[in-house]
Structure 1
Amino acid sequence: MKYIKLVIKIADKYQESLIAELFDMDFDGFEQRESSIIAYIAKKNFGINDRERVDQLLGAYPGNGYIETEEIVADQNWNEQWEQTVKAQEIGSFFVKPTWSQATVPDDKILLEIDPKMSFGTGYHETTRLMLKALPDLLDGDDTVIDAGTGTGILSIAAIKLGAKEVLAFDINEWSITNTHENILLNGINDSITVKQGSTEVITEGTRVDLVLVNIEKNVILTLLEDLVVALKKEGQLLLSGLLETDLPQMKEELKDRFEIVEVYQENEWIAIQAKKIN
């Protein structure tokens, strides 16, 4: 079968979002590189209208562009190639691994079995690591949690394994909902997590939770923040990521009247903000 290979220049912080959109267009292979994505699609699935659609998608992201487009003849197992890039790793209190990994789980780590879709990218981002590292200190037994923009469901699953009573996980992307359900089943905790497709409108009126987790791009956080604040108990904890170090001043300004900043975590240029609701 003939494939079209697109090499797209795009900043790292936008790659996960673009991959999700390309996946919905029937692209079925991805490689993430520094400041670029390589995307593959069967030639029969990529007509003129599809190329125009990709152009429209790229127009929503700053600093994007094609590096090259190439037609290739391929007889490859894209899933197998992609799986080779997803490795088991220790992240704070957790040992995160895909089901195809034969890695041994350390005795002192909590196992999270996560099989991410190709639409979620090929590795665990700094922001995910920051959230996982901070999470154990934020949860007490029987806490209730909202996981906004759940992705693979990894944070919801981690929260339950740390003792949370229940989690509401939501995401606007259909692939995320499917993948989250799959990963919940892999970890044997399907009775404790409610998964809904949508945004903050899926939060039942009157809901008040102990912890809100948000790992989404800054501008999306800002659109959801008011609804999430309403759903958080007084003195409840908010853990935000998907943020760059340069986003910190604006986020502090947004939070200052209703939250006390407890901690700012950082890995490379990425940060996570832990804040306690005071009003």
Structure 2
Amino acid sequence: MDFIELRVTAPADLTDILVAELGEVGFDTFEDNDEGFCAYTTEDAFNQEAVSEVLAKYATWPSGHPTADSRVITRQNWNTEWEKNFEPLVISEQVSVRAPFHPERPDLPYDIVIMPRMSFGTGHHNTTALMIENQLTVDHQGKRVLDMGCGTGILAIMAVHLGANYVLAVDVEPWTAENAADNAQENNVQDKVEARLGDISALDGEEPFDIILANINRNVLLEDMGAYYRYLRPGGPILFSGFYEEDMHLIRAAAEKEGFRYQSMRTRNDWVSAIFTKPE
């Protein structure tokens, strides 16, 4: 299957809003550039009418209206596109996130190699980086971890680097689950990361987890909050992201209604990653 690249030109103060909006209409991979960003989805999921509606909502944005052009990228050319556009990244001066063609960073304690294919989560988006920053504060040693909405598998790989014994990485897109498995193998953690296709129902029959990582979007988090509570062991933390700071009150209210206790949050460019725990 081929992919669609949507090249969006937009003012800097609008790009994160557009990323969130496009994420709701089928796009799941984003890459910043000097003019705005590129968004990617599969050809069968591309909906031009939905894209036009998103752009029309911001046609009178004070700092400038957004525009977008689309093109088809064949599957065999995908790696070439990422080699041209994917820059290495350092998070919290501890974690190197790079593609296989980037040089290693032996001066940093953690090294994650990602070949994104068509999956969200290279670490460049604020939510992924915020999640990793929060992971660095959580004890993963010997833990059983759930990564919901795993994308490239970057958070699952980070969990293993931090000492997790097992990570179940779940995503609703077939190519994403495949990509997470490939990246686990690229990072030599395939014996501890299981990539599984599905939504929250893919957890049927699973024992509770010690840690849950849920970087998805506001609506899915709200809808599945009760299931997260059931699948987390008492005393365990759950790390949320994928929503704006203005929606934090909704996430917190839903989490506390289920019984979670708020611990802390990080923000960057209006995005949030928050930590809650399940009481013992």
TM-score range, shorter chain: 0.7 to 0.9
Shift of the alpha carbon at 1:136? 2.2
Shift of the alpha carbon at 1:81? 4.2
Partner of 2:162: 162
Partner of 1:27: none
How many residues align structurally?
Answer: 257
Shift of the alpha carbon at 1:54? 2.9
How is 1:105-254 mapped onto 2 (pairs within 5 angstroms)? 105-120=105-120, 124-205=124-205, 207-254=207-254
Aligned partner letter, 1:207: E
Q: Is 1:98–2:92 an aligned residue pair?
A: no
Partner of 1:274: 275
Partner of 2:49: 55
Partner of 1:12: 19
Report the aligned-residue RMSD.
Answer: 3.4
Q: Deviations over 1:128-149 (max 9, x none)?
A: 0001011022124211110000
Partner of 2:63: none
Q: Which runs of 5+ in 1 are unaligned?
A: 24-29
Q: Deviations over 1:40-94 (max 9, x none)?
A: 99xxx8xxxx89943257668993799365899xxxx664344222111111231
Aligned partner letter, 1:243: F
Query: Larger Rg: 1 or 2?
Result: 1
Structure 2: distance between partners of 1:272 and 1:40: 24
Shift of the alpha carbon at 1:202? 1.2
Q: Is the 8 A contact 1:127 1:241 kept in 2?
A: yes
Shift of the alpha carbon at 1:175? 1.4
CA pair 95-202 structure 1, distance change in 2 beyond 3 A: same
Greater shift, 93-102 or 232-241, is seen at: 93-102
Q: Is the 8 A contact 1:146 1:212 kept in 2?
A: yes
Q: Is the 8 A contact 1:82 1:118 kept in 2?
A: no
Structure number with the higher strand fraction is 1
Q: Is the 8 A contact 1:143 1:166 kept in 2?
A: yes
Structure 2: distance between partners of 1:110 and 1:52: 36
Normalising by structure 1, we get a TM-score of 0.78
Structure 2: distance between partners of 1:60 and 1:214: 25
